[in-house]
Amino acid sequence: MSGFEGFRYDGKRVLVVGGATGMGAAVADLAQEAGAEVVVMDVADVSRAGATSVRVNLGEQASIDAAIEACGGSVDALFACAGVADGTPGIERINFIGHRYLISQLIDRGMLARGSAIGMISSAAGLGWESNFATLSALLDITDWDASVQWAHDNGMADYMHMKQAMCAYVAREAYPMLKLGIRINAICPGPTDTPLAQANKELWLEFGSDYRRDVGTAPSTPAEQAAPLVFLCSDAAGAINGQTIVSDQGYLSAGLTNAFPPAGPVAQFLYGRFG
């Protein structure tokens, strides 16, 4: 690797889970533009020129197994982009447990080999994972599908915030054992982004931080703006980055933590689990 070549994906095979719309679709677009062979998995129909489409329901273990069989081959970069909002049945499976199972199966089958990378889409809602790590570790220790689902329900954590916290904790905790296998794992925590899912939850998701954006003169991020850092994290150019969750929110939470934008302070303190 030399110079800009490290940012490209020539000769690489990329799997985008949740690549039909939104940020996942933007990831697939950018990976293709960077030279990758792209496989898109989604529960929705996927129509993408030059890409292989595989149907998967992350809420069903058997569907994930079948999708992995259909994918076959090796995967140089896995982008875990699928997600749903609170109120969706099976949210604990779709937003975390299904992604984790798919990753473990790809590793066990040798499809994610040395030199590969994983990029996940978390959320600002997951940033409080550190203060909740002791509890989240109990979930991360459970590898059985049904037991994981049961634990999430029994502990009142089968919701958007806790599954995003679980994802952030998973990225941090698994970075070391995965790197021993030659696999890197990172995530992004996007700020408000104009996707179909966000539009369906517009009052909550797109109004978040709107006072900050008005003040600095910006709009909610586009899917492409969030895809760029995620694709970078799985490129060779990011070889030194591992176990990190990158906050891509236009600086809103940092402005709150430092009191540069005081209205964001209480929200930032809450999301990071810093109440002192």
Average per-residue pLDDT for the chain: 94
Region class of 87: left (phi > 0), else alpha (psi between -120 and 50), else beta: left
Q: How far, CA to CA in Å, does 19 sit from each of 42, 105, 133, 156, 177?
A: 6, 19, 30, 29, 27
Q: What are phi and psi of 132, to 5 degrees?
A: -110, 15
Give the domain extent around 54: 3-271
Proportion of the chain above pLDDT 70, given as a percent? 98
Q: Tell me the C-alpha distance between 219 and 264, whole Å.
A: 17
**What's the pLDDT tens digit per position in 198-250?**
788 777 778 888 999 999 999 998 999 999 999 999 999 999 999 999 999 99
Q: What is the pTM of this model?
A: 0.95
Give the three-state DSSP class for 210.
helix
> In sequence order, what are the residues at sequence separation of 6 or more whose Cβ sits closer than 8 angstroms to the Cβ of residue 75?
13, 14, 15, 39, 106, 111, 112, 116
**Residue 276 within any structural domain of the chain:** no
Q: How far, CA to CA in Å, does 139 sit from each of 83, 167, 172?
A: 19, 11, 14
pLDDT in the model for residue 276: 52
**Residue 58 within any structural domain of the chain:** yes
**Residue 142 within any structural domain of the chain:** yes
**What's the pLDDT tens digit per position in 101-148?**
999 999 999 999 999 999 999 999 999 999 999 999 999 999 999 999
Asked whether 23 and 195 are in contact (CB, 8 A), the reply is: yes
Q: How many domains does the chain have?
A: 1
Mean pLDDT of 66-80: 97
pLDDT in the model for residue 40: 98
Paired strand residues for 186: 119
Domain containing residue 94: CATH number: 3.40.50.720
**Residue 132 within any structural domain of the chain:** yes
